[in-house]
Chains A and B, each alone.
Chain A
């Protein structure tokens, strides 16, 4: 079956829905293609808040937010992106409120704000109230509100359509191919502009806050098509994953006064970030937790985690402002945060890297910022680069509305002056072959077993701390896993809701993005933000103040090009908190 829309968005999360909504407001005919129902996208799992210098609780300025974002990103953040972001996120939050988003309120009726990691006043002097929030389900509210507005705008949705190919020919994007889960049919989609907003890929790791569905599909598809992936080595571990499941416990818990403690009961963050302690950025806190465990001050029979202590907070603060994480802790661990501290450990959380774009979400193909006409990306799938080497808490929700909106507006304007490109049934070929090969395979490899090996080995060799030796080992493991992937076989040969087939396709994407990540990490011989090389413990601005662009060469090989960081207002300085 064939479909045609001026703007097609891949992904029904916050970035995709924001892009779709603003493209529709520009008058474009818009469709969203999502492998889920939009309301089940992972934006809904974001808890703590969306940072914007509204100044509702105390003095704040967008310049402070810009500075915090750049410093938080360990100076790998492009400063033009941070400036656009810090200004526009204020407007974006107000617009969300006008759309009906139920933010928590202050007694004077304004949007309430709380503290979050790395967000400060006066250029780093003390934590600031910047995170606008709706209890601890801010992402849920953003997702619901944007979906509500898309329903109002009459946007077309193709739900449970799994994208299998993006058609980029003669340097331009033309359309895509998607597999309809309900029927097993392949569909051809023709578009003047495509916006990729398909989210992250936390499922490359064993312990992750990410949904089962976050498998880096579109990053891998474009990477296979010869487009680069930017800064893949920077992968964020969120400090407070519920131990041992990895379910997220918002940083807002520390924003409300929660304290991390080791087995001795010490508030260990005092040693690592004396100024802002538990509200240091996530890379610093995650590393500190690992070091505490490594030095024998971990908690539990295996001494492999630490504790998040909320017991000193007033019960009404916990019940009112952190109801969901309280419930998670009660259900999944039988621990009541009102009475006892909660076991936590870092959990794979967010990809700073992804599909490279400029400030309007246009995908670029090289270090000279050459645009791929008609192709856009936004949200976690993309890398503009706002987050640099480490993202501050709340900046993901801000990123997806600000840059989702920009991509939507630009794509709609581009589509107005563009023509549809010719597509034919032949474009379905590669996807059909891939699916048939998996279905008819007589191989012995099982998807789940191979995936478990991938996730464990990525955890062991390419997570919070890295060394050249471990990464080289992982390069070899990935080669072997990719080889074995060719022998993957499934039991379900049916057409209707063949979820086993979908997982087999997803495993291919996981392997591909892991390859880009591990090679990029091996290549970068310095420590910066979330990329902590124990064999290169210092930040090296002389050689590495630049973005990695990783290209697939084939046969387990990757090649690199480099793009300068956009500097400007803030000179790189030592990063202390």
Chain B
């Protein structure tokens, strides 16, 4: 089948503003949108720039806006999005070229929640024990691939650049609810501050955007509650 691929192109070093460019690509229904981008870049227009690595939804490189929704290009099939496909960079991060955005603000928010196990107690000789139920408690957050689809779908993040955003909160949740972690107070400093969880307006965009089917909004609510109950 013939697919019309419309890509929002922008090279800040040359162009004043982003412009749509349209490509005709021969595709199979089971092709990934990533395959179409490759066909354009490899055989039609070598100047098109985008990120990708694994090609099957676990490295998080190719999050982009496909037909107006945040998705991974390698996990989105032509049969599911139709024969006219629009592709834009994820929103709220500065565009560096075409579909490539500056990820540094995103990773700065990640670092702010101290995304690592905090536990100064001397570890035992063998593993720290953890029951399957305790392990299950934070399982969903461990699926996060840091693709930024959630954070860049959030209207609060678009309008308030200092909001740490859903992905960082998911990372915090993953440790707050890990029975081995002792870093609750340290993380609450970032999470409870003006740029922390209270900015969340429960729009559910993040949950809809997550390509790993993490119930992001619910995790954010659980973090809010943890901070509240900690106060009283």
Q: Which residues of A contact B (CB under 8 A)?
A: 36-37, 39-42, 44-45, 94, 97-100, 102-111, 134-135, 137, 140-141, 144, 148-149, 151-152, 182, 211-213, 245, 247, 324, 327-328, 331-334, 446-448, 490-492, 494-500
Contact = CB atoms under 8 A, between A and B. Distances in A.
A33 to B, nearest CB: 16
Contacts of B128: 97-98
Nearest to B111: A151
A104 B135 contact: yes
Interface string B41-55: 111011101101111
Contact of A497 (B57, B100, B146): B100
B77 interface: yes
- Taking each of B59, B129, B134, which has the highest tally of chain A beta carbons within 10 Å of its own beta carbon? B59
B61 A40 contact: yes
B85 interface: no
Given A39-B145, A39-B146, A100 B116 contact: yes
Nearest to A495: B13
A448 B43 contact: yes
Given A98-B123, A148-B115, A212-B52, A497 B96 contact: yes
Contacts of A491: 45-47
Interface stretch (B136-144, B153-161, B187-195, B215-223): B136-144
Contacts of B47: 491-492, 494, 500
A245 B14 CA distance: 37
B2 interface: no
Contact of A99 (B42, B117, B134, B138): B117
Nearest to B133: A105
Nearest to A35: B53
Contact of B49 (A324, A332, A490, A497): A497
Contacts of B132: 104-107
B142 A102 contact: yes
B138 A102 contact: yes
B208 interface: no
B54 A211 contact: yes
Contacts of A107: 131-132
Q: 10 shortest A-B CB distances, which residue pairs?
A: A100-B117, A109-B129, A448-B42, A491-B46, A148-B116, A500-B46, A40-B59, A497-B97, A492-B47, A98-B123
B53 A111 contact: no
B105 interface: no
Contacts of B98: 497
Contact of A37 (B41, B96, B103): B103
Nearest to B50: A499
Contact of B58 (A45, A111, A135, A213): A45
19 contacts: A36-B61, A40-B60, A41-B53, A44-B145, A45-B56, A94-B126, A94-B127, A100-B178, A148-B116, A182-B96, A213-B53, A324-B58, A334-B30, A490-B46, A492-B46, A496-B11, A496-B13, A496-B96, A499-B50
B115 A105 contact: no
Contacts of B126: 94, 110
A137 B58 contact: yes
B180 interface: yes
Contact of B41 (A36, A327, A499): A499
Nearest to A98: B123
Contacts of A37: 61, 103, 107, 146
Given A105-B135, A106-B132, A331-B77, A212 B55 contact: yes
Contacts of B134: 105
B54 A45 contact: yes
Contacts of A102: 135, 138-139, 142, 178
B58 A44 contact: yes
A472 to B, nearest CB: 30
B162 interface: no
B71 to A, nearest CB: 12
- Taking each of B41, B53, B125, B129, which has the highest tally of chain A beta carbons within 10 Å of its own beta carbon? B53
A159 B30 CA distance: 33
A446 B43 contact: yes
A141 B55 contact: no
Interface string B193-219: 000000000000000000000000000
Nearest to B45: A491
Contacts of A140: 58, 145
Nearest to A143: B59
Interface string B28-49: 0010000000100111011101
B130 A105 contact: yes
B84 to A, nearest CB: 22
B180 to A, nearest CB: 7
B19 interface: no
A388 to B, nearest CB: 27
Contacts of B145: 39, 44, 140
A141 B178 CA distance: 14
A385 B145 CA distance: 32
Contacts of B163: none
A446 B42 CA distance: 8
A247 B59 CA distance: 13
A447 B41 CA distance: 11
B26 interface: no
Contacts of B125: 94
A437 to B, nearest CB: 16
B116 A151 contact: yes
Contacts of A447: 42
B130 A109 contact: yes
Given A448-B42, A496-B97, 18 more contacts: A39-B146, A42-B53, A44-B145, A100-B116, A100-B117, A102-B139, A105-B134, A105-B135, A149-B116, A151-B115, A247-B55, A331-B57, A331-B77, A446-B42, A446-B43, A494-B11, A496-B11, A499-B49
Contacts of A103: 127, 135
A107 B132 CA distance: 6
A155 B125 CA distance: 27
A363 to B, nearest CB: 26
A260 B12 CA distance: 52
B59 A44 contact: yes
B53 A40 contact: yes
A64 B59 CA distance: 34
Interface in B67-101: 75, 77, 96-98, 100
A247 B139 CA distance: 24
A45 B178 CA distance: 24
